[in-house]
Copies of this chain bind each other. A is one copy, B any other.
């Protein structure tokens, strides 16, 4: 059994320096690091994660907890995961995606001593999983927010995102702007916080403009998008532009609008918020999107969690980043109505 001492002797450094490299706990000069890595390779030294966990009560494994839903997940999820995993690895941690579908399962995971910290996605306004996290004393950070802004979080800045979308539409002359959100099967307090926050930001923006708000809530599916197109057509014919916070309904909205004989953007301009650039490009016409900063947020979430674990920071992190406007072909001048 090769030990860390053997590696230190072979590389002609102290055991502490080997530990710094292996555990990523302190920066080590590139040359020294290379020598240590060569020694590890030559001696075929392998860290035993389980044994190390018992010895140190640390596993250097982080879990990204994601609800194990039946519906198809948002395209941004995998971007979060991969960028958080990258960020964690650069600091010497492994990050895994752990599908959890109930509180009980989550408690087992947290009590098992297997992970040093956790990131939680799809955070709800009142979220019992957050209570479990607090009770478990496992350090955590949220991707999203509950109603309690004192907890550590990184999130999308919905207020700025919606304001920018509204400003973009107003610069094309639009005055009647509707919001299309996602209807979930969950009780209102169990909904992802983003739906409530996007709606609040939209209502504020309309109040500031002195315009009556129109909020339409549909399923995150093609059928949902077509339903929204019909509701707009039948009940809100004055509407000339919409902001979607419902990625899954975006294609159905475009198709449904056209099927009703209305052009995009000639009769209706569309901005899809909280989605990806790639999804916008796939559509015909290509959609103007507010691209979610999934890669940035994933990395920042990993950093925020590791900062807590390593005692680098005092206050819990509160990070907000807006989505980025990526113009496509779905926004045009407001039609002049006779």
A-side interface residues toward B, CB under 8 Å?
46-51, 53-54, 59, 61, 63, 68-69, 72-73, 75, 77-79, 81-82, 85-86, 89, 94-99, 101, 105, 107-109, 111-114, 222, 248, 250-251, 254-255, 258, 276, 278-279, 281-284
Taking CB atoms, residues of chain B closer than 8 Å to A96 are 63, 96-99
Q: Complex formed: what's the CA distance from A113 to B50 in Å? A: 6
Shortest Cβ distance from residue A257 to the other chain B in the assembled complex, whole angstroms: 11
Shortest Cβ distance from residue A61 to the other chain B in the assembled complex, whole angstroms: 8
Shortest Cβ distance from residue A280 to the other chain B in the assembled complex, whole angstroms: 10
In the complex where A68-B82, A82-B73, A97-B96 touch, is A47 in contact with B111 (Cβ < 8 A)?
yes
Is the pair B49, A278 in contact by a Cβ cutoff of 8 Å? no
Taking CB atoms, residues of chain B closer than 8 Å to A111 are 46-48
Is the pair B85, A48 in contact by a Cβ cutoff of 8 Å? no
Shortest Cβ distance from residue A95 to the other chain B in the assembled complex, whole angstroms: 7
Q: How many copies of this chain sit in the oligomeric assembly?
A: 2
Q: Give 16 A-B pairs besides A46-B111, A63-B96 with Cβ atoms closer than 8 angstroms.
A: A49-B108, A49-B112, A50-B53, A50-B54, A50-B112, A50-B114, A59-B114, A72-B79, A78-B78, A89-B105, A94-B109, A222-B278, A251-B282, A254-B284, A258-B284, A282-B282
Q: Complex formed: what's the CA distance from A89 to B73 in Å? A: 19
Is the pair B113, A48 in contact by a Cβ cutoff of 8 Å? yes
Is the pair B47, A50 in contact by a Cβ cutoff of 8 Å? no
Shortest Cβ distance from residue A143 to the other chain B in the assembled complex, whole angstroms: 16
Is the pair B281, A284 in contact by a Cβ cutoff of 8 Å? no
- The 3 A-B residue pairs with the shortest CB-CB distance, nearest first, are A49-B112, A251-B282, A46-B111
In the complex where A98-B96, A99-B85 touch, is A281 in contact with B251 (Cβ < 8 A)?
yes
Shortest Cβ distance from residue A100 to the other chain B in the assembled complex, whole angstroms: 9
Q: Complex formed: what's the CA distance from A49 to B95 in Å? A: 17
Point out the residue from B69, B85, B108 that lies within 8 Å of A46, measured CB to CB.
B108
In the complex where A99-B82, A222-B281 touch, is A50 in contact with B48 (Cβ < 8 A)?
no
Is the pair B77, A78 in contact by a Cβ cutoff of 8 Å? yes
In the complex where A48-B112, A53-B50, A113-B50 touch, is A72 in contact with B278 (Cβ < 8 A)?
yes
Q: Complex formed: what's the CA distance from A212 to B161 in Å? A: 53
Q: Complex formed: what's the CA distance from A47 to B112 in Å? A: 6
| Nearest CB in chain B to that of A222: its residue | B281
| Nearest CB in chain B to that of A136: its residue | B46
| Nearest CB in chain B to that of A101: its residue | B89
Shortest Cβ distance from residue A28 to the other chain B in the assembled complex, whole angstroms: 17
Q: Complex formed: what's the CA distance from A47 to B113 in Å? A: 9
Shortest Cβ distance from residue A242 to the other chain B in the assembled complex, whole angstroms: 17
| Nearest CB in chain B to that of A276: its residue | B72
| Nearest CB in chain B to that of A111: its residue | B46
Q: Complex formed: what's the CA distance from A86 to B68 in Å? A: 8
